[in-house]
Amino acid sequence: MSIKKITSVSVIALGLVLGACGGGGGGSSTPIATAVTPPPPPPPVSTAPTFTQGSFAPRENFVDQCEAPRSGSDANGNIFPDGAGSELTEKFWLRSWSDETYLWNDEIIDTDPNDTAGRVPYFNILVTNELSETGSGREKDDFHFSQNTEEFLEQQNSVASSGYGLRLAFINSAAPNRDIRVLYTEPNSPASATQNGVVNFPRGSRLIAIDGEDVLNGDDVDTLNNGLFPAFAGEAHTFTLRDVGAVTDRTVTVTSADVATAPVNRTEIINTPTGKVGYMLFNTFSPFESERSLNDAFTILEDEEIDDLVLDLRYNGGGLVAVAAQLGFMIAGPDRTEGRVASLLQYNDAAGNTNPITGEVVQPFPFIDEGVGFSVNAGTDLATVDLPRVFILSTEGTCSASELVINSLLGIGFEVVLIGDTTCGKPYGFLPTDNCGQTYFTIQFRSVNDVGFGDYSDGFSPQDSTNQFSVNTTGCTVADDLSSELGDPEEALLSTALFYRENGSCPVNQASTKASPPVNYTKIVNPAGTIGALNSESDPFETNVNSFLDATMPQ
């Protein structure tokens, strides 16, 4: 654990002197004394910070002291706070900031900033080298990252709305035999429109050609990317597809549009001999609209008085945690959630119950039974199906807030039946932080549930999974099934959920034979990039640009 030996008085004194000297750039002017009685002469100080193993000055002593100060304001209109400094002060800021806020700060090997050239290389070593505590052999921290702030803000402010309303799986992103399939389409989008009675992009269809270029083996990636990622609404592109079960290809021309994501993509009622089963495909917690979208869907399910719920989170990568806390209430109802914690953020041991980023006391996130004002009026009672269990359909694409729903429900002893495959395992979080033009991402907290559990860095798995490092819960392992439409009772995950519901066990022949897809999980990197760049994993945030098109588990 870090030892903070420098007293606040000496730190403040050093900061004042540095400030008076214009950032410690080598000046030696003396602050003008205004008191009648002159103070005792200050001890000699160096304008450059010095390294003492295990001793950390507050990060405020070094913040915004930049080797190359920016002037003006950023893309959000915020005036740059930069002052004169040096690469060394930037590295000292990184060292103190990491010590104060990094979740595993006591596992950082304290290294003299003078010994590493460059702020980014120095940041890169301010990370734990331990392996996952689950014993999986995975790195404990595989999300330690920084990027130029200007680029980061550009990505944050980009709105990738032009497209077809189409989400694809990149099973093999490089020729030969490039393999791109349709996962699902957005309702009321160009992709879900019909021509001659046929949906433009049915689930599972394989892309054969785009604007005449061979998808499987073609090397004109610009043509492929331009067709896949239209820059503007109104662009017409021609796609040749091979539908599931078809022996011939089909060609459609579609025009791009500004497509809004429907958080709840579809809601179905499945009548069974033993009662009504609600099915809901919920794809993202991210837009503010997700609050209303969920409440509207649950109002339907509540009115239908369903007996069970199948919640399809297989492609849901997360988003707003408040909405996740609302979803938990909408599933489990008031009696099971009242007074219980959906999520509590834990920071490093030194921080205790204080958020070391803001200095505020950490407050638990309860299950929420009313609108909070994203898109449902604050205070409005939310709908609830008030059930004693839920079936959740999952894949490796089930992440963050989706996993938080699972963990929060398990934390109150609620029965979660997981059907599909291991979730992605992301209980951690961060606040991107700029200093001197570089934005740093370092893991700062984990989310735990009502009983304090949050160690699911290898994901949640159905109990019959061969993954020995994930957290097992009731359910069945089944591979994603692109051969049937989502919500179709014949689709493998949904049919397994229905089977389990009827029989209390998994179907005999599906689990071990269909689980664990053999193909790598890859994500689209950048609409402006090349198809070949799909294999890059160096920059996790490049996946940010087009949320429609991150690949998921292949069939």
Positions in the binding site for other proteins (CB under 8 A): 76-78, 143, 155-156, 284-286, 288, 291-292, 317-322, 329, 334, 337-339, 343, 345, 357, 365-379, 381, 397, 399-401, 424, 426-432, 443-445, 447, 523, 540-541, 543-544, 547, 550
Q: How far apart are CA 235 and CA 143, in angstroms?
A: 36
Q: Are 458 and 466 in contact (CB under 8 A)?
A: no
Q: Which is nearer to other proteins, 402 or 555 (CB)?
A: 402
Q: Shortest gap between Cβ of 56 and other proteins (angstroms)?
A: 22
Q: Which is nearer to other proteins, 243 or 291 (CB)?
A: 291
Q: Are 344 and 376 in contact (CB under 8 A)?
A: no
Q: Shortest gap between Cβ of 276 and other proteins (angstroms)?
A: 26
Q: Which is nearer to other proteins, 286 or 495 (CB)?
A: 286
Q: Is 232 helix (H, G, I), strand (E, B) or coil?
A: coil
Q: Shortest gap between Cβ of 337 and other proteins (angstroms)?
A: 7
Q: Which is nearer to other proteins, 339 or 504 (CB)?
A: 339
Q: Which is nearer to other proteins, 24 or 420 (CB)?
A: 420
Q: Return the number of other C-beta atoms located less than 10 Å from residue 338's C-beta.
A: 12
Q: Shortest gap between Cβ of 356 and other proteins (angstroms)?
A: 12
Q: Shortest gap between Cβ of 543 and other proteins (angstroms)?
A: 4
Q: Shortest gap between Cβ of 271 and other proteins (angstroms)?
A: 32
Residues 6+ apart with CB under 8 A from 177: 216, 217
Q: Shortest gap between Cβ of 365 and other proteins (angstroms)?
A: 7
Q: Return the number of other C-beta atoms located less than 10 Å from residue 400's C-beta.
A: 23
Q: Which is nearer to other proteins, 322 or 498 (CB)?
A: 322
Classify 391 in phi/psi space as left (phi over 0), alpha (psi -120 to 50) or beta: beta
Residue type, 475: G
Q: How far apart are CA 319 and CA 329, in angstroms?
A: 17
Q: Which is nearer to other proteins, 57 or 171 (CB)?
A: 171
- Segment (H or E) for 341: strand 341-346
Q: Shortest gap between Cβ of 428 and other proteins (angstroms)?
A: 4
Angle between helices 321-337 and 401-411 (to 10 degrees): 20
- According to DSSP, the residues that pair with 472 across neighbouring strands are 461
Q: Are 297 and 264 in contact (CB under 8 A)?
A: yes
Torsion, Cα 91 92 97 98, to 10 degrees, reads 70
End-to-end alpha carbon distance in the chain:
46
Q: How far apart are CA 212 and CA 282, in angstroms?
A: 34
Q: Shortest gap between Cβ of 34 and other proteins (angstroms)?
A: 32
Q: Which is nearer to other proteins, 291 or 308 (CB)?
A: 291
Q: Which is nearer to other proteins, 177 or 354 (CB)?
A: 354
Q: Are 178 and 217 in contact (CB under 8 A)?
A: yes
